Amino acid sequence: MSRIGNKPISIPDGVTLTREGGVVTIKGPKGELKQAIDAEFELEQQEGAYLLKRPTEQKRHKSLHGLYRSLLNNAVVGVSEGFKKELELVGVGYRAAVQGNVLDLTLGYSHNIIFQVPSEIKVSAEAPKGKAPVVTLEGIDKQLIGQVAAKLRSLRKIEPYKGKGVKFVGEEIRRKAGKTAAK
């Protein structure tokens, strides 16, 4: 029994969902996304929502049911509200600057890191006085934003002793105790 797959996909005003074969196109005020799903799955329209139905009780169909429902729901939320991830650069001298879709990062290495952000994502950087710089990623594709955020985070992973590196805003870091002097 798929609990996720059986939930209806609510469609807000201004969002349309069309299906052509194995591709579902979702259009909304923020843009358009296409999601490929198995052609055997049915999309049933209800009042203000869609219900995804699997064709059989095979293990393959059961495993894809919740996945397809989540992917379609993420696309609907993306084209109506959008997604946003914020990364914080924690460390002395860590900086971020944006020119178009190019992110220039200073992360304590001997050189700056130039990171080309995909054109589907809007990137901005701000450095509030007395706080760590924050890089904000905004867009309609949840998977792409998560992938870019993970790549940025991997450029300087958080280290557990001083807590320096690139982290998500609000993320808790498990700190370790350093060496203690023996007497």
What pLDDT, on the 0 to 100 scale, is given for residue 1?
A: 56
The whole-angstrom separation of Cα 102 and Cα 106 is 13
Number of domains within the chain:
2
Domain end residue (candidates: 30, 60, 80): 80
The whole-angstrom separation of Cα 144 and Cα 137 is 10
Is the same domain home to 121 and 45? no
Structure tokens at 143: 């998977």
For the chain, the farthest-separated pair of C-alpha atoms sits apart, in whole angstroms, at 75
Residue whose tokens read 């498990």: 174
Is the same domain home to 16 and 62? yes
Q: Give the range of the structural domain holding residue 87, as residue numbers without chain letter.
A: 83-168
The whole-angstrom separation of Cα 165 and Cα 171 is 12
181 belongs to a structural domain:
no
- Alpha-carbon separation of residue 129 from 104, 112, 124, 133 (angstroms): 19, 22, 16, 9
- Residue-wise pLDDT for 121-168, tens only, equals 999 999 989 899 999 999 999 999 999 999 999 999 999 999 999 999
Is the same domain home to 89 and 156? yes
Is the same domain home to 89 and 125? yes
Dihedral over Cα of 86, 87, 92, 94: its sign: negative
Is the same domain home to 43 and 90? no
What pLDDT, on the 0 to 100 scale, is given for residue 3?
A: 86
Residues 167 and 90: beta-carbon distance below 8 Å: yes
Is the same domain home to 73 and 94? no
